[in-house]
Structure 1
Amino acid sequence: MKSDMSDTNNHGKEISDDAFATLIRNQFQLESLGERLQKIENETATMKDKWRRGDEAMRDFTVITITPTEFTLGTE
């Protein structure tokens, strides 16, 4: 038995049912991987934003808590 693949890049060529099933399974796996990669990218962007805000907060805290009389560079 052959499956009509006219809606794919085969442009109407027929392939076996096994090949069609493999193609569909691989397509599904690729879509799943694409979704997982998108989630990873979103999480990475979120973490980078949190780290950036944390770094900014630490710099602000450092500027506020260390005054010139308490901190000198290279003098003892």
Structure 2
Amino acid sequence: MKIGYARVSTAAQDSSIQVDLLVKEGIDRDRVYVDHGISGRQTHRPGLDNAINAAREGDVFCVTKLDRLSRPPGIFTKR
């Protein structure tokens, strides 16, 4: 089974483009988990927690871009 995860950093942003891309890849819409208004640096992300908890051995975990999953410290900061 495929599990999808989408994240937008601000509540004003729209996650529908990410969700639509994941659905086009064959992921059931009810298997796409979303976090709205949460930075990738946050450790508490309910949508990500639910996606991980839904995944079982052999499942495929999908995101549209790796930066939707995580933001490594220091890489995306202004200097």
Structure holding more helix per residue = 1
TM (norm. structure 2) is 0.23
Higher relative contact order (Cα pairs below 8 Å, separated by 6+ residues): 2
TM (norm. structure 1) is 0.23
